[in-house]
């Protein structure tokens, strides 16, 4: 090949790479701008303060909103976090700090496998384990399903954060004669705490956007409900119901739900990035 | 700690076990392969088979991966090796942002903006063109619906791209500096540095990343449920509606009242579990094989 042909080829490949970058980035910007433009117009005070009610309410122009979905999302997501974070962090510690344990290699394989499992299966599992035995759709079952979604993500990111903390930290503790659990609690975890926080936030953000596991666990509601033993509404799932509903008024509310959900998830994402950036540890699931 | 580690095993294997027991009636009744290859899904007459959904899942996921793979690897390479560090980090940031956008948000955009646009600018003109000059294509194309396989696949491709990009990026990051320096020192062009020095080294990681993205596509639910049109009837056509395993579960589970219908949906979930489990295990196996520089990926 002549030098000239090699340079031409180099240029062609460079433009192809630039083209593929635009190919990915442009649709993202288009989607975000559509959501912002359509969503802003549908947002108003009622959206945050009134419950949805029946479709007639929206069609007759009476005040309607998604206050119950926002409240429900916060309750269910926080409950899920409370279930998943301790177990996930502990599992991550197990994966990273006890590599000599005989169950560790299969554990690591299963951990990465779980990370790729469809979220809807977590919903089916929670349906079988919680909804069936307790005889009804409930907010608790929804948060169990979301906890199943968060758990492997947290375990994976805690594992990768702990692996980046230097071994000398552990050796210092062990040299003092501390047992391993004490070394983990007193030196490894404090050193890795911002990284762990980032991982937990990323898992939270990912789970907060999931609708699939909630469809048949927390089920959804048109009215305000604070009782975790009954069906409760969440934003992602409400967004889905609004978008596929036949009512024009509800479509507009769907866009408003999309902007709220997008802002919520992105805030988690930015805070996670900020925490990670400031303290120099990375924890991408 | 051991106990919490066991939680991982319990969740992974428990999921398979629970889905199997919940769906065991149709699976045992028709046999493991009998249920899988049954081509009819008609809850009203009580015939349940997973084949239409398996087919729909595999078609959409494979097509989405085929569409997303080269652009995604291109973005990964461009951001890591070509772009100036500032622009590279902006690109990485945007890609991570795309991964964070909830699938229902992409779904609502698909329903109200993308699908109608595709119908008016693409499906209908192509359909009329086929009617006039290529009638042989009509049975393959099918009547143009806005919610169809192509719409769903295109958005699915967009959704799995950030995973492929991220894993490509990680694979390239593991390539030692010396590989690049050696290629530059031989007088290689920028592309030749990539082609000879970096891609062979990162190949395994990129392939594993592609397989992981495939697993994502297999399990992606909401975008598909919102945009594929949800038809259980074979044969599928390009412009016609279809269904996938996750989408049928999402669509019918809430309305399923009959025990058999519910159990059959659970059984579909069990097959989806097996499929994604195997695909993920393959990816994990490839990644374990790549023990580059003492670090297990």
Kindly report, residue by residue over A143-200, the tens digit of the pLDDT. Answer: 999 999 999 999 999 998 998 888 888 888 899 999 888 999 888 998 888 889 988 9
Average pLDDT, chain A: 88
Preceding omega of B235 cis (within 30 degrees of 0): yes
- pTM (predicted TM-score): 0.91
Helix (H) or strand (E) holding A236: helix A235-243
Of B42 and B53, the one with more pLDDT? B53
Which pLDDT score, from 0 to 100, does residue A158 have?
92
Q: What does the alpha-carbon distance between residue A18 and residue B33 come to, in Å, rounded to a whole number?
A: 46
Of A66 and A59, the one with more pLDDT? A66
> Would the pLDDT of B266 be above 90?
yes
- The tens digit of pLDDT for each residue in A73-110 reads 999 999 999 999 999 999 999 888 888 888 888 888 88
- The tens digit of pLDDT for each residue in A265-274 reads 889 888 888 8
Helix segments in A98-188, DSSP class H: 104-115, 119-126, 132-134, 139-164, 167-175, 180-183
Give Cα B198 to chain centroid, integer Å.
26
- The tens digit of pLDDT for each residue in B127-181 reads 888 888 887 777 778 778 888 899 999 999 999 999 899 888 888 888 888 888 8
Q: Per-residue confidence at A285, pLDDT binned at 50, 70, 90?
A: very low
* A121 closest CB neighbour out of B78, B98, B269: B269
Q: Which percentage of chain A shows pLDDT scores above 70?
A: 97
Total length of chain A: 285
Q: Would you call A124 and B19 a contact, using CB atoms and an 8 Å cutoff?
A: yes
Q: Report the pLDDT averaged over residues B56-67.
A: 94
* A35 closest CB neighbour out of B71, B91, B109: B109
Q: Which percentage of chain B shows pLDDT scores above 70?
A: 97
Residues of B in contact with A27 (CB under 8 A): 158
Helix (H) or strand (E) holding A269: helix A248-279
Q: Per-residue confidence at B293, pLDDT binned at 50, 70, 90?
A: very low
CA distances A43 to A40, A213, A254, B160, Å, are: 5, 27, 10, 30
Which pLDDT score, from 0 to 100, does residue A284 have?
43
B194 touches chain A (CB under 8 A): yes
Q: Would you call B220 and A97 a contact, using CB atoms and an 8 Å cutoff?
A: no
> Would the pLDDT of A282 be above 60?
no
- The tens digit of pLDDT for each residue in B208-246 reads 889 999 999 999 999 999 998 888 887 778 888 889 999
8 Å CB contact between B100 and B163:
no
Q: Report the pLDDT averaged over residues B281-289.
A: 83
Q: Would you call A121 and B219 a contact, using CB atoms and an 8 Å cutoff?
A: yes
Which pLDDT score, from 0 to 100, does residue B290 have?
66
Of B276 and A222, the one with more pLDDT? B276
> Would the pLDDT of A32 be above 50?
yes
All structural domains of chain A with their residue ranges:
3-42, 55-279
- The tens digit of pLDDT for each residue in A202-211 reads 899 989 999 9
Q: Would you call A240 and B7 a contact, using CB atoms and an 8 Å cutoff?
A: no
Q: Report the pLDDT averaged over residues A18-33.
A: 91
| Cα R_g (chain B), whole angstroms | 22
Q: Would you call A20 and B74 a contact, using CB atoms and an 8 Å cutoff?
A: yes
> Would the pLDDT of A70 be above 80?
yes
Which pLDDT score, from 0 to 100, does residue B6 have?
84
CATH number of the B59-244+278-294 domain: 1.10.3720.10
Q: DSSP characters for chain B? A: -HHHHHHHHHHHHHHHHHHHHHTHHHHHHH-HHHHHH----BTTTTB--SHHHHHHHHHHHHHHHHHHHHHHHHHHHIIIIIS-HHHHHHHHHHHHHHHHS-HHHHHHHIIIIIHHHHIIIIIHHHHHHHHHH-GGGHHHH-S--SSSHHHHHHHHHHHHHHHHHHHHHHHHHTS-HHHHHHHHHTT--HHHIIIIIIHHHHHHHHHHHHHHHHHHHHH--HHHHHHSB---PSSP-TTS-B--HHHHHHHHTTT--SHHHHHHHHHHHHHHHHHHHHHHHHHHHHHHH--GGG---
Which pLDDT score, from 0 to 100, does residue A279 have?
57
Average pLDDT, chain B: 87
Q: Report the pLDDT averaged over residues B268-291.
A: 86
For residue A259, the tally of other CB atoms under 10 A from its CB is 21
B106 touches chain A (CB under 8 A): yes
- The tens digit of pLDDT for each residue in A216-242 reads 888 888 888 888 888 888 999 999 999
> Would the pLDDT of A278 be above 80?
no
Which pair of tokens denotes residue A180? 């391993």
CATH superfamily of the domain spanning A55-279: MetI-like (1.10.3720.10)
Q: Would you call A10 and B70 a contact, using CB atoms and an 8 Å cutoff?
A: no
Which pair of tokens denotes residue B97? 């942002």
> What ipTM goes with this model?
0.90
Which pLDDT score, from 0 to 100, does residue A229 have?
84
Residue of B nearest to A106 (CA): B9
């Amino acid at each position: 090949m002549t030098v000239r042909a090699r340079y031409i080829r180099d240029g062609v490949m460079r433009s192809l790479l630039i083209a593929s970058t635009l190919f990915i980035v442009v649709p993202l910007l288009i989607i975000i701008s559509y959501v912002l433009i359509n969503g802003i117009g549908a947002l108003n005070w009622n959206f945050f303060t009134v419950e949805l009610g029946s479709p007639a309410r929206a069609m007759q122009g009476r005040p309607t909103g998604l206050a119950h979905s926002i409240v429900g999302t916060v309750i269910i997501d926080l409950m899920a976090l409370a279930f998943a974070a301790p177990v996930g962090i502990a599992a991550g510690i197990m994966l990273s700090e006890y590599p000599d344990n005989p169950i560790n290699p299969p554990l690591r394989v299963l951990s990465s496998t779980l990370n790729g499992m469809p979220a809807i299966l977590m919903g089916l599992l929670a349906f079988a384990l919680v909804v069936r035995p307790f005889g009804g759709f409930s907010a608790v079952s929804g948060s169990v399903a979301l906890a199943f979604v968060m758990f492997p993500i947290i375990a994976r990111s805690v594992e990768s954060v702990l692996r980046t903390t230097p071994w000398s930290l552990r050796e210092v503790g062990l040299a003092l004669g501390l047992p391993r659990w004490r070394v983990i609690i007193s030196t490894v975890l404090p050193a890795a705490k911002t990284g762990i926080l980032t991982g937990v936030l990323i898992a939270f953000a990912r789970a907060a956007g999931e609708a699939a596991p909630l469809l048949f666990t927390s089920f959804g509601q048109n009215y305000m409900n604070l009782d975790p033993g009954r069906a409760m509404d969440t934003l992602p799932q409400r967004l889905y119901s609004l978008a596929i509903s036949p009512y024009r008024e509800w479509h507009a509310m769907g866009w408003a739900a999309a902007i709220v959900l997008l802002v919520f998830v992105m805030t988690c994402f930015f805070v996670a990035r900020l925490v990670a950036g400031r303290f120099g540890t990375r924890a991408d699931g | 700690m051991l106990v919490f580690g066991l939680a991982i095993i319990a969740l992974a294997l428990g999921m398979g076990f629970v889905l199997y027991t919940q769906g065991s009636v149709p699976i045992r009744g028709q046999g493991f392969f009998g249920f899988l290859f049954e081509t009819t899904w008609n809850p009203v007459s009580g015939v349940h088979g997973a084949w239409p959904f398996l087919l729909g899942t595999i078609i959409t996921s494979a097509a989405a991966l085929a569409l997303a793979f080269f652009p995604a690897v291109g973005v990964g390479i461009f951001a890591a090796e070509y772009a100036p560090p500032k622009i590279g980090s902006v690109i990485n940031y945007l890609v991570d942002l795309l991964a964070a956008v909830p699938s229902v948000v992409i779904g609502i955009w698909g329903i109200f903006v993308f699908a109608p646009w595709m119908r008016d600018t693409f499906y209908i003109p192509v359909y009329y063109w086929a009617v006039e000059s290529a009638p042989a294509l009509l049975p393959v194309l099918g009547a143009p619906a806005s919610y169809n396989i192509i719409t769903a696949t295109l958005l699915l491709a967009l959704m799995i791209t950030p995973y492929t990009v991220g894993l490509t990026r990680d694979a390239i990051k593991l390539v030692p500096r010396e590989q690049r320096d050696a290629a530059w020192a031989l007088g290689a062009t920028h592309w030749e540095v990539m082609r000879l020095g970096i891609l062979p080294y990162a190949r395994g990681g990129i392939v594993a990343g592609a397989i992981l993205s495939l697993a994502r596509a297999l399990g992606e639910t909401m975008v598909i449920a919102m945009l594929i049109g949800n038809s259980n009837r074979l044969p599928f056509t390009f412009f016609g509606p279809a269904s996938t395993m996750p989408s049928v579960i999402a669509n019918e589970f809430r309305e399923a009242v009959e025990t058999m219908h519910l159990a059959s949906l659970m059984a579909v979930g069990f097959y989806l579990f097996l499929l994604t489990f195997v695909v993920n295990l393959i990816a994990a196996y490839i990644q374990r094989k790549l023990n580059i520089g003492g670090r297990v990926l």
